[in-house]
Amino acid sequence: MNTIAERLKEVRNQIILACEAAQRSPADVRLLAVSKTRSIEEILQARQAGQMEFGENYVQEGVSKIAQLEEHSEITWHFIGPVQSNKTRDIAGSFGWVHSVDRAKIARRLNDQRQHAQPPLNVLIQVNIDQEDTKAGVLPADIAELAGLISSLPGLRLRGLMAIPAAAADAVARAASYARMQGLYSGLQAQYDQIDTLSMGMSDDLATAIKYGATTVRIGTAIFGSRPSDKK
């Protein structure tokens, strides 16, 4: 079985190849290791292999890990799961990034609960690009209003967009979703100087996401391996 360090190396190589195919610099793509349900030991193995950024989906689990790894202040922690209003205080207090802001109430609560001594919380707007009933996120037409609000809040720093495009069977349909996200991202960049992050792409669609401009890819299984519950 490959080690976490070996898997990380392979994922980084995949990013390099995808960037070469897209005529992009690998330096422009951030690798975010999705560490939900993974142990402290596994996270430390990834850290020892040079990984600096980790994403958590569950608030209590993430806050606990951040506290246990407090001495590793070089790690940047991203919250990438759905944001419930009763969890915003913990998110605002512990994480450096939130990828999944999709309504004004959440933005305001994160702003109000971010401590003045902390730097602004980096925020991405989650977009429901394929208008799926089962997914969170704003519709494309509502991005501008939410972006305007976030940009007005001193405790937050709007950095870009996040999406989980539908897993369509048709390759053309999939590509169209990524291309729409790329267009929305470019439009936001034209409005705000600080926009530099398009978070999309996971283990199965890394190359496609990079082709269409992703600057952050969220990779879990390809780094840490299958969870016991995933194995048949």
Q: What is the pLDDT of residues 17-57, one digit of tens each?
A: 999 999 999 999 999 999 999 999 999 999 999 999 999 99
Evaluate whether 97 touches 75 at the Cβ level (below 8 Å). no
Longest dimension (CA), the chain: 49
Percent with pLDDT over 70 in the chain: 96
Could you name the CATH architecture of 4-225? Answer: Alpha-Beta Barrel (3.20)
Contact 101, 125 (CB under 8 A): yes
Q: What is the dihedral of CA 44, 48, 73, 217, to 10 degrees?
A: -90
pLDDT exceeding 90 applies to what percent of the chain? 88
Kindly indicate the confidence band of residue 228, based on its pLDDT and cuts at 50, 70 and 90: low
CB contact at 8 A, 150 and 179: no
The rounded radius of gyration (Å) of the Cα atoms in the chain is 17
- Give the per-residue pLDDT at 193: 95
Residue identified by tokens 């040079």 is 50
Give the CA distances from residue 171 to residues 8, 65, 167, in Å, rounded to whole numbers and listed in that order: 27, 38, 9
- State which amino acid sits at residue 111: N
For the stretch 96-111, pLDDT in tens is 999 999 999 999 999 9
Sign of CA dihedral 66, 194, 155, 152: negative
- Identify the weakest region by mean pLDDT among 44-58, 160-174, 177-191: 160-174
Whether pTM > 0.75 for this model: the answer is yes
- Across the chain, mean pLDDT equals 95
Q: Does position 225 have pLDDT exceeding 60, yes or no?
A: yes
Q: Show me where the domains of the chain are located.
A: 4-225
**Type of residue found at 220:** G
Q: How confident is the model at residue 231 (pLDDT cuts 50, 70, 90)?
A: very low
| Interval 60-74 mean pLDDT | 97
For residue 169, the model assigns a pLDDT of 64
